[in-house]
Structure 1
Amino acid sequence: MTATDPFQGMGAGIHAFKAFDSAFERTRSLLWPFNWGVWLRLAVFVLCIGGFGGLSLNLISLPNPEDLANAGIASSFGHLAYIGIFLAILLIIRVIGAVFHFVLVDGLTVGPVTLFWTFDVRVRKGLRLFLFEVLLGGALLGVGALTLGLYDVSLSLETIPELFAASPPFLIAAFLLWFVMVVTIDLVVPVMITDDCGVLAGWRTVLGLGAADPGNTSAYLLTRTLLAVAADLIVTVLVLAATLFSFHITFYIEFFAIPLAFLAAGLIQAPFLAFFRYYGLLVLGSFSPERALLPSRQSSESAHGVEDAEALLVPQVR
């Protein structure tokens, strides 16, 4: 890159705008013609990752003692055992979700989109990402704890919405941490693949790329925020409608309605998940062409077998 051409090696134009159409077309090619296998696998990715972007903490409310008592679990030991099992399952899902971030990139860049094809070689990087998420989540809860002296709100999963409403510092911290996780998933995860590095090293690389091109960096941050807000609003409305419909057609029988609602939520978010992953990969490729993973991906019209895909993926798997 020279002083007379600040965009040399990064691509001319606004990366955030250029990537939009290409990400949309790649998403359409992936999901259409309709293939139940691809859609269902993406739905599993969504449910394990915790959504299609952002700080995926999977804030599922813990059962309260009254609910446990109604279910026949009345002792304190029973409460602890039940909650321990609940948290263990949630922990396993979160670890799997962290690894899935890398497996999904492999599927979208080389293919095919599968759940466990490269899972074993991505476990180490997934654990690093999981620990990073834990640190971010802990930092957010720490900010919440610091605000308890100013606001009459107890700190628990159920009262986090109250903290959002009552505490501007908590709201600001939550937004900043959410955005850190968005950039981590969009840009740092593929950098960790191409550079075979950890989360912090990937962040140093991304910060260096952003500092070298502040105009495109600002455009990406603004565009990504607006896209996330719009997508969240659309998905929230669709998921609520699908949930109500699921309970309606199953006559409010939870045994059938809840799994159906989860499946519907995953399928609704599947296109958004694919779009945002493609979008992040394209933006990174514009900032740093040597780290562009998508050009190596074969066109969606020319499918190849798992053996061919494995051969293409070998240089990327560390």
Structure 2
Amino acid sequence: MGWHAVDAVDDAVEATRRFLFPFNAVRWAKLALLVLLMGGGANAGVSVPTSPDARIGGVSGVAGELGTGTRTDAATLGNALSDLFAGASGDWLIVAAAVAAVVVVIGLSVASLSLRLVFYDALRTNEVRLWRPFLGRLRQAVGLFAASVALSAVATVPIALAVLAAVAAETPTGWGPIDSFAATAGSLPIGLAIAAGLVGSALVLLATLALRLTFEFVVPAMVLEDRGVIAGWRRVRQAIAGEWAELGAYLAVHFFVGVGIAVVSGTAFVIAGSAVVAVAGSALLLAAVPLGGLGALASTTAGIAAVAVVVTVAVATLVAVTLPVSVVTRSYLIAYEVATLGGIDPGLTLLHPDLDPDSTGADRDSTGADRDSTGADRDSTGPDRD
């Protein structure tokens, strides 16, 4: 049998070359923006700040004043009520700020996932457009966010419970439910504890695999057929049913592809980072001379401002220098994933015919120049339409 996961390694190289070249500055700028902002997952771990409940203290104060006797005057009661509402107001401000922070995080996560869908849409159409696809994919991004949060929770809850039980068993927290849970977990028979550990490990592995397949296989199906995440999962399940050996090969090859990409990206980051650090260090040395020495960089307002400016410019420069490498590596990795899916089920081929090396619909002239679906030569110099 043919291993589509292996064949896709070379197919993705060709697809990436056709997608990124001939070089177009506008196209690359849009892709760089997508790579910089698009998300691969969702993080729902938002900590809500807690504080002593001022309302409880206020109510206790009122009760105490009223319980001292019948001689409580109106002024005392008014002061107590004023303290109560002042405390409640401060508490509600904290709650409102926490809710606003959660809403902002969720909104940014959904927007980031929508941009990820836009990247897949660019592979589907061979046109890098931003605004309209972004708005059109927001509904799918909301479903993808909800699914990723749910799967992430399933994958992390068993680990969190195990860590919590181990920590609380060593050092009681003083909170009844947690200490009781730790005591119950610690008193389980060895066999039952092992069984619970195996079940938890299996749950973590299955949820992690489901999360990976959601982003690597379900997302292309969602973009290609304009489906929601649940309908996309049904479509992918039909595609991979009975293809477990192919799926195993894909996971293995994907691991080595990921290692290779990490090596390339890490090498580029180290080289660029070393150069940026050297230049930034030289700039700080030059800035320290008129200020009176290196110590002035941390002890004077002008020195702190100089450090802030140099660090900001250095970080921005490092991002700008390494971003083209990220565009190439991210494009290749996603092209590999969608090429494998298209090999497993040709009905889920996401790559545009001009990008797909296996496509018979790509019309190429005798010089090898790409043509679009109407037969016209593809404009390699004009900007992509938005």
Whole-angstrom distance in 1 between the partners of 2:348 and 2:109: 27
**Is structure 2 residue 9 aligned with structure 1 residue 20?**
yes
Asked if structure 2 preserves the Cα contact closer than 8 Å seen for 1:103 and 1:119, the reply is yes
CA 1:131–1:210: 2 relative to 1, 3 Å: same
Q: How does 1:213-252 map to 2 (within 5 A)?
A: 213-251=243-281
**Is structure 2 residue 137 aligned with structure 1 residue 122?**
yes
Q: Post-superposition shift, 1:96?
A: 1.5
Q: Secondary structure at the match of 2:324?
A: helix
Which of 22, 36, 46 matches 1:47? 36
CA 1:35–1:226: 2 relative to 1, 3 Å: same
Q: Equivalent pairs: percent with the same residue?
A: 25
Asked if structure 1 preserves the Cα contact closer than 8 Å seen for 2:272 and 2:322, the reply is yes
Which of 19, 30, 33 matches 2:22? 33
How many residues are matched?
268
CA 1:233–1:133: 2 relative to 1, 3 Å: farther
Q: Post-superposition shift, 1:271?
A: 1.0
Structure of higher CA gyration radius: 2
Q: How does 1:1-318 map to 2 (within 5 A)?
A: 13-50=2-39, 55=41, 57=43, 90-146=105-161, 147-151=163-167, 177-251=207-281, 253-297=310-354, 301-302=370-371, 303=378
CA 1:260–1:210: 2 relative to 1, 3 Å: same
Asked if structure 2 preserves the Cα contact closer than 8 Å seen for 1:101 and 1:185, the reply is no
One-letter amino acid of the counterpart of residue 248, structure 1: A
Q: Post-superposition shift, 1:228?
A: 1.9
Gaps of 5+ in 1: 1-11, 62-75, 154-167, 311-318
My pick for the range that moved more, 233-242 or 123-132, is: 233-242
- 2:68 alignment counterpart: none
My pick for the range that moved more, 215-224 or 295-304, is: 295-304
Q: Post-superposition shift, 1:265?
A: 4.3
Q: Post-superposition shift, 1:86?
A: 6.7
Asked if structure 2 preserves the Cα contact closer than 8 Å seen for 1:99 and 1:122, the reply is yes
One-letter amino acid of the counterpart of residue 190, structure 1: P
Q: Secondary structure at the match of 2:227?
A: coil
Q: Secondary structure at the match of 1:301?
A: coil
Asked if structure 2 preserves the Cα contact closer than 8 Å seen for 1:98 and 1:126, the reply is yes
Q: Post-superposition shift, 1:28?
A: 1.6
Q: Post-superposition shift, 1:131?
A: 1.4
CA 1:263–1:81: 2 relative to 1, 3 Å: farther
Whole-angstrom distance in 2 between the partners of 1:239 and 1:179: 29
CA 1:239–1:194: 2 relative to 1, 3 Å: same
CA 1:124–1:211: 2 relative to 1, 3 Å: same
CA 1:261–1:301: 2 relative to 1, 3 Å: same
Asked if structure 2 preserves the Cα contact closer than 8 Å seen for 1:55 and 1:177, the reply is no
TM-score of the superposition, structure 1-length normalised?
0.68
CA 1:134–1:59: 2 relative to 1, 3 Å: closer
CA 1:235–1:98: 2 relative to 1, 3 Å: same
Asked if structure 2 preserves the Cα contact closer than 8 Å seen for 1:247 and 1:254, the reply is no
- 1:30-71 Cα offsets, whole Å, 9 max, x none, are 223333333332222222224xxx54649999xxxxxxxxxx
Q: Post-superposition shift, 1:203?
A: 2.0
- 1:8-36 Cα offsets, whole Å, 9 max, x none, are xxxx6111111111110111222233333
Whole-angstrom distance in 1 between the partners of 2:33 and 2:106: 16
Whole-angstrom distance in 2 between the partners of 1:217 and 1:245: 42
CA RMSD of the aligned region, Å?
3.9
CA 1:81–1:242: 2 relative to 1, 3 Å: farther
- 1:94-148 Cα offsets, whole Å, 9 max, x none, are 2122112221111112121232242222111111111122223333442343122
TM-score of the superposition, structure 2-length normalised?
0.57
